[in-house]
């Protein structure tokens, strides 16, 4: 992440507050990348931000998406990886999915495919956050059955 992206992140977080910032970043890295545009609520927030921060008014979606390619929990850059793809029916222990979403959404040590999906690949490209991976390993430490680890 470059200094310009850090400056933008700090300014935007300061403008909208941590909760809205995290929601904005999470949506940017999920739904928005698929649609290649901001959601309507994000567009409204972005337009009100650039009204007071004109230096960012010329940014296109790709620029915004690249700047916010960070983990919304740890605010660290997302990295690319190629991980094992495992297909099947998944049964996670109580609280795992909520904890994953809150504490390590970008651990992505493996790709969990649905049993109904065609097994196209034995590996999958993912984005990950190094702090999320560490948090997942700590969460699994001492558990009888691990989750999210191939």
- Domains in the chain: how many in total? 2
According to the model, what pLDDT value does residue 149 have?
78
- Tell me, yes or no, whether 7 lies in a domain: yes
- Tell me, yes or no, whether 150 lies in a domain: no
Q: In a 10 Å sphere around its CB, with 0-12 CB exposed, 13-18 middle and 19+ buried, how is residue 127 labelled?
A: middle
Looking at the structure, tell me whether residues 53 and 89 fall in a common domain: no
Looking at the structure, tell me whether residues 16 and 53 fall in a common domain: yes
Looking at the structure, tell me whether residues 18 and 62 fall in a common domain: yes
Looking at the structure, tell me whether residues 63 and 111 fall in a common domain: no
Looking at the structure, tell me whether residues 59 and 83 fall in a common domain: no
According to the model, what pLDDT value does residue 119 have?
61
Last residue within a domain, chosen from 46, 67, 88: 67
- Tell me, yes or no, whether 110 lies in a domain: yes
Q: In a 10 Å sphere around its CB, with 0-12 CB exposed, 13-18 middle and 19+ buried, how is residue 80 labelled?
A: exposed
Q: Which domain holds residue 117?
A: 79-140
CB 115 within 8 A of CB 89: yes
Looking at the structure, tell me whether residues 21 and 61 fall in a common domain: yes
Looking at the structure, tell me whether residues 11 and 33 fall in a common domain: yes
**Residue 26 has which token pair?**
């999470």
Per-residue pLDDT of the chain (150 residues; tens, 9 = 90+): 666 999 999 999 999 999 999 999 999 999 999 999 999 999 999 999 999 999 999 999 999 999 999 999 999 999 999 999 888 878 888 889 999 999 999 999 998 877 666 666 788 899 999 999 999 999 998 887 788 777
- Tell me, yes or no, whether 147 lies in a domain: no
Round to whole Å and give the CA distance between 65 and 74: 17
Looking at the structure, tell me whether residues 131 and 108 fall in a common domain: yes
Residues belonging to the chain: 150
């Amino acid at each position: 992440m470059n200094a310009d992206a850090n400056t933008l992140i700090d300014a935007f977080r300061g403008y909208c507050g941590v909760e809205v910032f995290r929601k904005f970043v999470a949506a940017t890295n999920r739904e928005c990348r698929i649609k290649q545009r901001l959601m309507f609520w994000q567009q409204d927030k972005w337009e009100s931000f650039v009204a007071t921060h004109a230096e960012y008014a010329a940014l296109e979606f790709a620029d915004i998406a690249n700047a916010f390619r960070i983990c919304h929990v740890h605010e660290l850059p997302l990295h690319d990886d190629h991980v094992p793809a495992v297909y099947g029916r998944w049964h996670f222990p109580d609280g795992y999915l909520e904890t994953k979403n809150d504490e390590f959404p970008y651990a992505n040590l493996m790709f969990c495919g649905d049993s109904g999906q065609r097994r196209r690949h034995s590996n999958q490209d993912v984005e990950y956050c190094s702090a999320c991976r560490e948090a997942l390993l700590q969460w699994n430490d001492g558990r009888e059955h691990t989750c999210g680890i191939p």
